[in-house]
Structure 1
Amino acid sequence: MVTASQRQFLLAQAGWTAAASALLWVVGSLTAELVFVASFLGFALVTALTAPLHDRPAWRSWLRWPLLVGTLVFLVVVGLRTLEKFAGLY
């Protein structure tokens, strides 16, 4: 059963991703890489902003794994872009 806080979190994340994708489409920069970066930054922001101050629900402990994997992928994307721009290796 989905709780109200889970529903709030999912709607905020889906709204952020949809708004970011629409904005990227409007400016003509819609790529999978940029959608991932915008969605991941939104995920981290939504996770931080919806965190309860005192009582931590058990379902929130599962959020650390997507945050960890997303951070690793984000670092790979940034590293590859850096190599491409400055070193011309990729």
Structure 2
Amino acid sequence: MATRRQQQYISGVLAWCLSTVLVLVLLDSLSYELYFVITLIGVLVVTELTAPFNLTPRWRRRLKWLIGLGLVVFAYVVIRRILEILPEGVI
């Protein structure tokens, strides 16, 4: 059974993801990379806003793995974008 904090967290992340899709579609800028980056930012913000003060439940400790994986993928996206910008022969 999900706790109130878990429900708040899931609701916050889902609201962020859905509003991100809506805004990107309205701006005609929807791409996988941009959606991923903005969603990752939202997950980090919602994680911090719903963090408990005194103790960390087990489900929140498991979020570190998901966030870590997201940051690795983010680094890959950034490196790929940098390599696209650089002229041929630099690297």
TM-score for the superposition, normalised by structure 1: 0.92
Identity rate of aligned residues, in percent? 36
Tell me which residue corresponds to 2:63.
63
Tell me which residue corresponds to 1:45.
45
**Moved beyond 3 Å, runs of 4+:** none
- Of structures 1 and 2, the one scoring higher in RCO (CA 8 A, sep 6+) is 2
Gaps of 5+ in 2: none
CA deviation digits over 1:18-72, x for unaligned, max 9?
1111111111110111111111111111111110111221210010001000000
Distance 1:83-1:15 versus aligned 2 partners, 3 A rule: same
Matched residue of 1:87: which SS?
Answer: coil
TM-score for the superposition, normalised by structure 2: 0.91
RMSD: 1.2
Kindly tell me the number of residue pairs found equivalent between the two proteins: 89
Gaps of 5+ in 1: none
